[in-house]
Structure 1
Amino acid sequence: MNHLERYLWKSVLSSILLTWLSLTLLDRFFAFLAELGDVSPDTQYGNVQALYYILMGTPKLLYDYFPTATLIGSLLGLGNLAANSELTAMRAAGISIHQIVGMTLKLGLVLVVMVFVLGEWVAPHTELAASSFKLRMQQKQLAIGNQGIWIKDGNRIINISKLWSEKKMEGLAIYTINPEAGRIDTITHAARAERDATGWVLYELTRKVIQTDGVRQETLAQVHEDKLIPEQVLSIAAVKPNQLAATELADFIKHQRENELNSKRFEQAFWQHFTTPLSTLVMLIIAAPFVFSFQRNAGAGQRIFIGILIGIVFFLFNRMFGSVGIVYGIPPLLSATLPLLVFLVGGVWMLQRLR
């Protein structure tokens, strides 16, 4: 059984990886062509920079494509075994359909761990780095890095440790530069800043004024600013769910709830960190009934078509229900897991009908 299981794993895994690579390369090719439209001789963003940006965004794409690649790849891998009568031989040797599905699900558990690691520790950081790189190349006004967000606004340079939303930020440092003297005039630190109807309120503020005869420091409980940073920069730099890991999303959701702010969009993204890897198992379950139903009668092209069709339906249903859930107030956990549960029930039902 161990030799048979390894052989089954090798056949399915090789097809999944080949499909995964093919889907990714095809998407990246068209993405690069589309990105050439943003290339401008007036900025530092050229063809090489566009290619680098596309490559940096690849881990997030790999994460998003993996369930579909698993479905198509497992259809191809199991389908090839069926076409060569190897599945028939296995069943003649006393191995049931459910045992074969169980073997593929063991492989699926390994893939779930792999894709979870990719989505939790790799994709969010490379996605953030890609966005920061493109912004830095296209303009010198904004940069996002490990030390937070850096914004250049006139003669001020602003560093923000955490930009929670377009209405709240923490850990501000504002450097005011004297262009004539070529030095920093004032350094302002604030624990946090919150936006109200008239502007921004900075709390726990410390301001250091650098003079020729020394440094003068003042501490204020709060200060009101009509304008803190440009609106267009604020909207670009605000936290985006796909740039956060699950642990960071959990912290953000806690912060939003403590301040009675809407966190539905981020809760949806949080649960998708778990439903996306688990959908790999569901795709393996769905693939089996199609393979055993068609057996040798279906060609590779037909299997690919079925896999793409089901993958598109799952992707659209998942995306649509997530958006509908946010609009109509459906609990994020339900809206994130319902598409997965629907396809799981459908796959199990089709498996039960097999003999």
Structure 2
Amino acid sequence: MQLDFFPSRTLTLYLAKTFVLRIFAVLVMLVLVLLALDLLGSTGKILEPAGNDQGDILRYASLRIPQLISQFLPYSVLLATLITLVTLNQNSEVVAMKAAGLSAHQVLSPLLLTAAIIAVISFGFNERVVTRSTSALKAWEAADYGDIPATSGVRANVYLTDGKNILSASTLIGSGETIELDNVTWDARGPGGIVTEQIRATSATYAAPGWRLENPRSFDVGSAEITRLDTIVVGENLTPAQIDLQAIDVDGQSFWELSETIDALDTVGRRTTEMRAKWWHRISGPLSALLMPLLGSVAAFGLARSGQLFVRAIIGMALGFAYFVVDNAALAMGSFGGYPPFLAAWAPFFLFLLVGETVLIRTEE
């Protein structure tokens, strides 16, 4: 049955099946290659703690693979688009479809539908799998691939401000007054934000008020002397509630959890520009898969024997990779307030949607 936007059912299933198989093949290839390169640099660190063995390497791989899938799925869709369309063009299948009366949009419609379904699956995968693996991997890395404390609420790379001074820790465990900070650094800053003294400690606990540093060592910047101190209390203006709000792992929270966190930070007057940009990007990021068939469509049309098929494939690849560059740049601008969060997350998507449509209409329609 001929539909208004889609070709026949048989042709739609054929194109969708071909597209899905090539997306899967390209994604597996990219993930395996990138995981192998990652393990080359990480295996030594993983095996360094006593007792770690091959099982820990497999554990690292199981936590890293979801991140690689999430990050490189749009690239896989782009490359699969180019491979699929170039093959169809070389075999004159595109010519046959256009001779049957199909427009360029109808030829691409099965690919667009498949990409839309993949975008929805990607969003669900990111929320249910990637956020959890990211949180677990960060906590494990913060513990130098050793044993992670059984206490709940582990967060990595905590960075807190108390006026001009800075309190940082490699891990945060627990919540409320039971918070424990590990591998703590206290930077006391003077006029102009210059660090005058740095105190390092193995851990810190809440002293009501302030944070009690255990086994502290002080480094005086002016005299360059290191002094061992008795237990010292710093950051008296930092309460557990403030730390809970500041020590947020955005990548480890789901879409709905991040929404609640942003609302809580807004209530207490905290800056949420970076979080809002990433919150919007949780939607626009997976939807980038929908753009790839459109940006790569330039490779589908034009005579293969004209010698321009390779050039068309390069143009399609360039458009796709240009989107990723612009998207990352806009997200970075939104993180420090250069762009409004909504614009930072969505402007590249709509810009390249218009670019892809313009190229397709002016060249083929």
Equivalent position amino acid for 2:266 in 1: R
The equivalent residue for 2:298 is 289
* CA distance 1:119–1:303, shift in 2 (3 Å): farther
- For the Cα contact (< 8 Å) 1:132–1:144, is it kept in 2? no
* CA distance 1:323–1:27, shift in 2 (3 Å): same
291, 302, 324: which one aligns with 2:333: 324
Distance between the aligned counterparts of 1:36 and 1:305, measured in 2?
36
10, 13, 17: which one aligns with 1:10: 17
* CA distance 1:284–1:252, shift in 2 (3 Å): same
102, 124, 128: which one aligns with 1:117: 124
Shift of 1:117: 0.9
227, 235, 238: which one aligns with 2:212: 227
Q: Relative to structure 2, which stretch is displaced further, 292-301 or 46-55?
A: 292-301
Distance between the aligned counterparts of 1:298 and 1:230, measured in 2?
71
The equivalent residue for 1:208 is none
Equivalent position amino acid for 2:116 in 1: L
327, 331, 342: which one aligns with 1:333: 342
Shift of 1:228: 6.8
- For the Cα contact (< 8 Å) 1:125–1:243, is it kept in 2? yes
Distance between the aligned counterparts of 1:241 and 1:352, measured in 2?
40
* CA distance 1:241–1:65, shift in 2 (3 Å): same
* Unmatched segments (≥5 aa) in structure 2: 1-7, 157-170, 181-203, 217-242
Q: Where in structure 2 are the equivalents of 1:210-221 lying within 5 Å?
A: none
**Tell me, what secondary structure is at the counterpart of 1:227?**
strand
Equivalent position amino acid for 2:355 in 1: G
Distance between the aligned counterparts of 1:230 and 1:354, measured in 2?
70
Shift of 1:339: 1.3
Distance between the aligned counterparts of 1:230 and 1:83, measured in 2?
70
Shift of 1:354: 2.5
Shift of 1:300: 8.9
Shift of 1:70: 0.7
- For the Cα contact (< 8 Å) 1:12–1:74, is it kept in 2? yes
Distance between the aligned counterparts of 1:305 and 1:83, measured in 2?
15
* CA distance 1:76–1:34, shift in 2 (3 Å): same
User: Does residue 1:104 correspond to 2:111, yes or no?
Assistant: yes
Q: Where in structure 2 are the equivalents of 1:113-192 lying within 5 Å?
A: 113-136=120-143, 138-140=145-147, 143=148, 147-149=152-154, 170-173=175-178
Distance between the aligned counterparts of 2:251 and 2:363, measured in 1?
39
**Tell me, what secondary structure is at the counterpart of 2:209?**
strand
The equivalent residue for 1:179 is none
Give the alignment's TM-score, normalised by structure 1.
Answer: 0.72
Q: Where in structure 2 are the equivalents of 1:32-47 lying within 5 Å?
A: 32-46=39-53
Distance between the aligned counterparts of 2:111 and 2:310, measured in 1?
22
257, 262, 265: which one aligns with 2:271: 262
Equivalent position amino acid for 1:64 in 2: Q
**Higher percent of residues as strand:** 1
The equivalent residue for 2:283 is 274
Q: Identify which of structures 1 and 2 has the higher relative contact order when contacts are C-alpha pairs closer than 8 Å and 6+ apart.
A: 1
Q: CA RMSD in A?
A: 3.5
Shift of 1:272: 1.0
Distance between the aligned counterparts of 1:105 and 1:146, measured in 2?
46
- For the Cα contact (< 8 Å) 2:108–2:297, is it kept in 1? yes
Equivalent position amino acid for 2:153 in 1: G
**Tell me, what secondary structure is at the counterpart of 1:260?**
coil
Q: Relative to structure 2, which stretch is displaced further, 312-321 or 41-50?
A: 41-50
- For the Cα contact (< 8 Å) 1:43–1:138, is it kept in 2? no
Distance between the aligned counterparts of 1:4 and 1:317, measured in 2?
34
1:137-167 CA distance string (max 9 Å, x none)? 6345xx377932399xxxxxxxxxxxxxx99
Shift of 1:307: 5.5
87, 101, 108: which one aligns with 2:94: 87
The equivalent residue for 2:233 is none
- For the Cα contact (< 8 Å) 2:94–2:300, is it kept in 1? no
- For the Cα contact (< 8 Å) 2:177–2:206, is it kept in 1? no
Shift of 1:334: 0.4
Would you say how many aligned residue pairs link Structure 1 and Structure 2? 293
Distance between the aligned counterparts of 1:283 and 1:240, measured in 2?
30
Shift of 1:36: 2.6
Shift of 1:261: 0.8
Distance between the aligned counterparts of 1:295 and 1:354, measured in 2?
15
* CA distance 1:150–1:241, shift in 2 (3 Å): closer
1:20-77 CA distance string (max 9 Å, x none)? 1111111111111111342454444555423421331211221111111111101111
Shift of 1:173: 3.0
* CA distance 1:51–1:94, shift in 2 (3 Å): same
61, 69, 80: which one aligns with 1:73: 80
Equivalent position amino acid for 2:91 in 1: N
The equivalent residue for 1:252 is 261
Shift of 1:86: 0.9
Equivalent position amino acid for 1:352 in 2: I
